[in-house]
């Protein structure tokens, strides 16, 4: 079955870059997503990437995809206290028509 793995915690200093990593097992994945969940809130889509791309940049966010290794990363430049949240990696085969398979989420902790 499908599996999406992430480390549970990441601690970075304010102003540094954060890199959150994710691995997935389903080679059929065509869409890979990053969601942000703030305490008590729902999920907010940060960005997504198609499997035929290897990089996508959106302001402070950079997504890198290594399809061969089934590895996805999210880099947040100049990390701020407002970036403190849980970040979920998710994958989908049919662009979400089949629902998404999520990782357990990485809790990003910002140190002053």
87 binds other proteins (CB under 8 A): no
Q: Which is nearer to other proteins, 4 or 12 (CB)?
A: 4
Q: Is 45 in the site for other proteins (CB under 8 A)?
A: yes
Show the CA angle centred on residue 48, arms to residues 47 and 50, nearest 5°.
155
- For the chain, the residue count is 112
CB of 72 to other proteins, least distance (A): 15
Question: Contact region for other proteins (CB under 8 A) — 14-22, 55-63, 64-72, 89-97?
Answer: 89-97
Give 31 or 83: the residue with its C-beta nearer to other proteins: 31
The answer to whether residue 39 forms part of the interface with other proteins (CB under 8 A) is no
Token pair in block for residue 39 = 């305490």
| Of 16-24, 41-49, 54-62, 71-79: span binding other proteins (CB under 8 A) | 41-49
Nearest residue to 1 (alpha-carbon basis) of 110, 84, 98, 69: 98
Burial label for 75, CB within 10 Å (0-12, 13-18, 19+), is middle
* Chain residues in the site for other proteins (CB under 8 A): 4, 8, 31, 35, 40-45, 48, 88, 95-105
């Amino acid at each position: 079955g499908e599996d999406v793995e992430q480390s549970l915690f990441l601690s970075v200093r304010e102003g540094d870059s954060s890199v959150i990593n994710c691995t997935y097992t389903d080679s059929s994945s065509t869409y890979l997503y990053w969601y942000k969940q703030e305490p008590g809130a729902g999920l907010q889509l940060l960005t997504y990437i198609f499997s035929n791309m290897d990089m996508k940049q959106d302001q402070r966010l950079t997504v890198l995809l290594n399809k061969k290794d089934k590895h996805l990363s999210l880099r947040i430049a100049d990390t701020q206290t407002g970036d403190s949240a849980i970040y979920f990696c998710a994958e989908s085969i049919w662009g979400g028509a089949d629902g998404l398979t999520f990782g357990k989420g990485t809790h990003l902790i910002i140190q002053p």
